[in-house]
């Protein structure tokens, strides 16, 4: 038993490449074109390529950065306001606690 050496392997690869390139391309025929067009008309009647839809898609991507910045600002403001509310609530509660201290002293 003799394993293939590098030159032999290259020779087999070359033959396989030649075999690949000499493949006969089948012709598709008129019926085939008719079927493709029929499906495309069906597609167009249903959900064909719409310029409006494409325009909306592009608009969405172009405004994505602005939308992301706005979202960050909104998140930041919510977070700040929540913190401020917590401080105010704590202050209010502490006032209330102070207020509940008996006046008898």
Partner 1 sequence: MTTRHLFTGAVVWSRPWMSYDAMARHLAVGCAGFIGVQTLVSDDREIIQRVLQGEIDRYAELITRYQQHVAKIANRHVPSDRVAEVAHDVFVRAYSSLSSFSGRTPFEHWLSGIAVRTCYDFWRARRREELPVSSLATEHQAWMDHVLAAESDDQFREQARRQEAAELLQWALGHLSAENRLVLTLVHLDGYSVREAADLLGWTVVNVKVRAHRARQMLRALLLERKRQDDDTTQR
Stretch that binds partner 1, among 20-28, 62-70, 75-83, 94-102 (CB under 8 A): 20-28
Distance in angstroms (rounded) separating the CA atoms of residues 3 and 33: 50
Q: Which stretch binds partner 1 (CB under 8 A): 41-49, 66-74, 79-87, 94-102?
A: 41-49
Q: Which of 25, 44, 24 is nearest to 36 (CA)?
A: 44
| CB-based contact 4:12 (threshold 8 Å) | yes
If the CB atoms of residues 25 and 100 are measured against partner 1, the closer one turns out to be 25
* 22: contact with partner 1 by CB under 8 A: yes
- Report the distance separating Cα 43 and Cα 24, nearest Å: 32
Report the C-alpha gap between 95 and 88 in whole angstroms.
10
If one asks whether residue 51 binds partner 1 (CB under 8 A), the answer comes out as: yes
* 3 touching partner 1, by CB under 8 A: yes
User: Which residues would be at the binding site for partner 1 (CB under 8 A)?
Assistant: 1-4, 8-9, 11-28, 32-33, 35-37, 39-41, 43-44, 48-51, 54
């Amino acid at each position: 038993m003799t394993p293939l050496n590098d030159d032999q392997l290259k020779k087999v690869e070359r033959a396989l490449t030649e075999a690949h390139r000499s493949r006969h391309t089948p012709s598709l025929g008129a019926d085939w074109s008719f079927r493709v067009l029929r499906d495309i008309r069906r597609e167009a009647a249903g959900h064909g390529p719409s310029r409006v839809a494409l325009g909306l898609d592009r608009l969405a991507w172009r405004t994505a950065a602005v939308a992301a910045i706005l979202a960050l600002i909104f998140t930041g403001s919510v977070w700040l306001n929540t913190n401020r509310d917590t401080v105010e609530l704590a202050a209010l509660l502490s006032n209330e606690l102070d207020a509940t201290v008996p006046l008898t002293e």
